């Protein structure tokens, strides 16, 4: 089995990069109400179709030096970065399940459902984060199916993943109701909407997939990293914002929360097993 691991890792990375390429299409088309399947991608400037060899993840962008083959319009560096990040994310999601999968501890259908479900969750979070960063909206078309998928995963492979249906159901409810309460309180206290209803559906999806016990850590990670980003962003743009819009602009930092919820959820998904083991070791030694 060990001899095959590098080949498996290379295959998983390539597979992940293809999904990253597809997510770039999703992020561009879903907010515009376009089909993610057809037609094939075109250059938005010269409208010539992008051929297969111009569409190889990461490599084509590098080979074309970040420009359209025909009209030389620059192609955003975000495309290859998303492809590379999603490739690495795919390997990170698949890796913990590989030993049990290869040694036959998991039935093929169980491995397929567990890995497929966690990958679908991770990919949807990446798309949601980028769309929210672009448009300040979390699309229902991505967040609501994720709630159902989280509950379905709990029924199918909940014990394997450590998220039985009680955790998933209470997580979905707490995510939805908890954030709704927070939003209502914030709106009452400040007279403005701090969190969108899209964030509520997103947190319900995270609760359904990762379970109730993940929510405090996910919210804390999201809030801390969102705050750090907002402060850094604010420090970098303060002079300009104050000059343009006056001091009032400083008080409200307009940063979407969805990308940080997605980030916190991905961090929990990838790291909680390590964290759990440490807490258990610590509890065992007390
Ligand atoms: Zn072009």
Q: What is the dihedral of CA 229, 211, 160, 4, to 10 degrees?
A: -10
How far does residue 35's CA lie from ligand 1's centre (Å)?
21
Q: Ligand 1 mean position to 208 CA, how many Å?
A: 42
Measured in angstroms, how far is the CA atom of residue 52 from the centroid of ligand 1?
Answer: 15
Q: What is the pLDDT of residues 149-198, one digit of tens each?
A: 999 999 999 988 989 999 999 999 988 887 777 777 777 777 766 667 78
CA separation for the pair 204, 183 (Å, rounded): 14
CA distances (Å), origin 258, targets 124, 161, 211, 212:
12, 24, 18, 18
Cα 53 from chain centroid? 28
pLDDT in tens, 119-144: 999 999 999 999 999 998 899 899 99
Ligand 1 centre to CA of 67 (Å) is: 8
- Distance of CA 267 from the midpoint of ligand 1 (Å): 37
Q: Please provide the DSSP assignment of 201-257 as one string.
A: HHHHHHHHHH-GGGHHHHHHHHHHHHHHHHHHHHHHHHHHHHHHH-THHHHS----S
In the reported structure, the alpha carbon of residue 36 is separated from the centroid of ligand 1 by a whole-number distance in angstroms of 20
Residue 39 alpha carbon to ligand 1 centre in Å: 16
Each residue of 238-282: pLDDT tens digit?
666 555 555 554 445 567 889 999 999 999 999 987 776 666 676
Q: What is the mean pLDDT of the chain?
A: 87
Distance 48 CA to ligand 1 centre (A): 6
Identify whether the C-beta of residue 183 lies closer than 8 Å to the C-beta of residue 195: yes
Residue 178: count other Cβ atoms within 10 Å of its Cβ. 19
- 42 Cα to the center of ligand 1, angstroms: 8
CA of 34 to the centre of ligand 1 (A): 20
């Amino acid at each position: 089995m060990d001899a095959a691991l590098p080949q498996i890792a290379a295959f998983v990375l390539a597979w992940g990069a293809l999904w990253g390429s597809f997510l770039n299409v999703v992020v561009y088309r879903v907010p515009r109400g376009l089909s993610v399947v057809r037609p094939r991608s075109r250059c938005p400037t010269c409208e010539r179709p992008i051929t297969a060899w111009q569409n190889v993840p990461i490599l084509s962008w590098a080979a074309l030096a970040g420009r359209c083959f025909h009209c030389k319009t620059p192609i955003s560096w975000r495309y290859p970065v998303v492809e590379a990040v999603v490739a690495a994310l795919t390997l990170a999601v698949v890796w913990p399940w590989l030993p049990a999968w290869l040694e036959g501890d998991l039935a093929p259908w169980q491995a397929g459902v567990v890995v497929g479900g966690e990958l679908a969750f991770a990919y949807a979070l990446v798309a949601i984060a980028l769309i929210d960063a672009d448009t300040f909206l979390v699309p229902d078309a991505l967040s609501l199916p994720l709630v159902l998928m989280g509950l379905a995963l709990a029924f199918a492979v909940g014990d394997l993943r450590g998220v039985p249906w009680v955790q998933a159901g209470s997580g979905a409810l707490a995510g939805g109701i908890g954030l709704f309460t927070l939003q209502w309180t914030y709106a009452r206290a400040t007279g403005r909407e701090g969190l969108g209803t899209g964030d509520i559906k997103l947190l319900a999806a995270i609760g359904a997939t990762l379970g109730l016990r993940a929510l405090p850590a996910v919210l804390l990670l999201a809030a801390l990293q969102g705050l750090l980003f907002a402060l850094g962003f604010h420090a970098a743009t303060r002079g300009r914002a104050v000059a343009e819009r006056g001091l009032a602009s400083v008080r409200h930092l307009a940063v979407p929360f969805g990308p940080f919820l997605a980030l916190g959820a991905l961090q929990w998904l990838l790291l909680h097993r390590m964290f759990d083991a440490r807490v258990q070791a610590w509890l065992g030694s007390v």
